[in-house]
């Protein structure tokens, strides 16, 4: 009985990893000082890099995002040190840069469940299997 409890405890302890992964951009520690000196898009790409997203409509805004994702074993993972940099660009000039950090960003609650897709066809596993018959060509016949 003791061996089973010890084995269970070791298994549970092994599942409790503590790990932090960085997602997105790794911003420099002196981000505010570097942002103050940026005047052109060339300066921006040299100091921060190419943006993850550029807006398509209205003023051109370059968006950079970075966060630390924390894994704590079986507990839900969390994010901290979230930073968003928004640069309003006009041609080759940077008009304005706005840096948002954890306190500035809203907490978004993700809803449970799934979003319904209008006119979606729900198939069970057997229907999926028969639905795919004849859909794919055998290997080597090309197409």
Is residue 84 situated within a structural domain? yes
Is residue 70 situated within a structural domain? yes
Query: Which tens digit of pLDDT belongs to each residue from 23-80?
Result: 888 888 888 888 889 999 999 999 888 999 998 888 899 999 988 888 777 677 777 8
Query: Which tens digit of pLDDT belongs to each residue from 87-130?
Result: 889 888 899 998 888 888 787 787 788 777 787 778 888 888 78
State how far the Cα of 73 lies from the Cα of 19, in Å rounded to an integer.
9
Pick from 67, 52, 59: nearest CA to 108: 67
Is residue 117 situated within a structural domain? no
State how far the Cα of 57 lies from the Cα of 93, in Å rounded to an integer.
18
Is residue 81 situated within a structural domain? yes
More confident residue, 140 or 134: 134
Number of domains in the chain: 1
The pTM of the full predicted model, rounded to 2 decimals, is 0.60
Domain with 87 in it: 29-106
Is residue 92 situated within a structural domain? yes
pLDDT for residue 64? 92
State how far the Cα of 61 lies from the Cα of 100, in Å rounded to an integer.
14
**Exposed, middle or buried: residue 55 (CB in 10 Å: 0-12, 13-18, 19+)?**
middle
More confident residue, 27 or 15: 27
pLDDT at 3 over 80: yes
Is residue 121 situated within a structural domain? no
């Amino acid at each position: 009985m003791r061996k089973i409890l010890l084995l269970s405890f070791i298994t549970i302890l092994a599942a409790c990893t503590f790990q932090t992964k960085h997602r997105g951009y790794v911003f420099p520690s002196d981000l505010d000082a570097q942002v103050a000196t940026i005047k052109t898009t060339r300066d921006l790409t040299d100091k921060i890099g190419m943006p993850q997203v550029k807006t398509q409509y209205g003023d051109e805004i370059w968006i950079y995002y970075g966060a630390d994702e924390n894994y704590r074993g079986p507990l839900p993972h969390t994010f901290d040190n979230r930073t968003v940099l928004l640069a309003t660009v006009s041609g080759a000039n940077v008009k304005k840069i706005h840096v948002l950090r954890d306190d500035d960003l809203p907490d978004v609650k993700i809803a449970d469940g799934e979003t319904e897709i209008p006119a979606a066809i729900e198939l069970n596993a057997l229907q999926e299997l028969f639905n795919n018959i004849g859909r794919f060509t055998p290997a080597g016949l090309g197409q």
